[in-house]
Amino acid sequence: MRAVKIKCFIVLSVCISSIISLFPEESKSYSPEEEITFTQKEENNQKDGGKKIEFTVFTRPYFEKNNSGLKGDKSFLVIEDRQKFDSIFGVGFVMGNNGKVIPKDAFEKKMVLALIVRGNSISNFTVESVTKSKTNLIINYKESQNGGGGNAKFASPLIILIDKTDFHKVEFKKDGKITGTVKSKSAKDIS
- Give the residue-averaged pLDDT of 89-98: 82
**Which pLDDT score, from 0 to 100, does residue 24 have?**
39
Contacts of 150 (CB under 8 A, 6+ apart): 120
Cβ atoms of 108 and 12 closer than 8 Å: no
Does the pLDDT of residue 19 top 80, yes or no?
Answer: no
Does the pLDDT of residue 106 top 80, yes or no?
Answer: yes
27 versus 66: which is more confidently predicted? Answer: 66
Q: What band does 35 get if pLDDT is binned at 50, 70 and 90?
A: very low
Give the closest residue to 115 by CA, choosing from 181, 40, 22, 169. Answer: 181
Q: How far apart are the first and last CA of the chain?
A: 75
Dist. CA 184–CA 21, nearest whole Å: 40
173 versus 31: which is more confidently predicted? Answer: 173
Residue-by-residue DSSP string for 167-181: -SEEEEEETTEEEEE
Average model confidence (pLDDT) across the chain: 77
- As separate numbers, helices (DSSP H) first and strands (DSSP E) second, the chain gives 2, 12
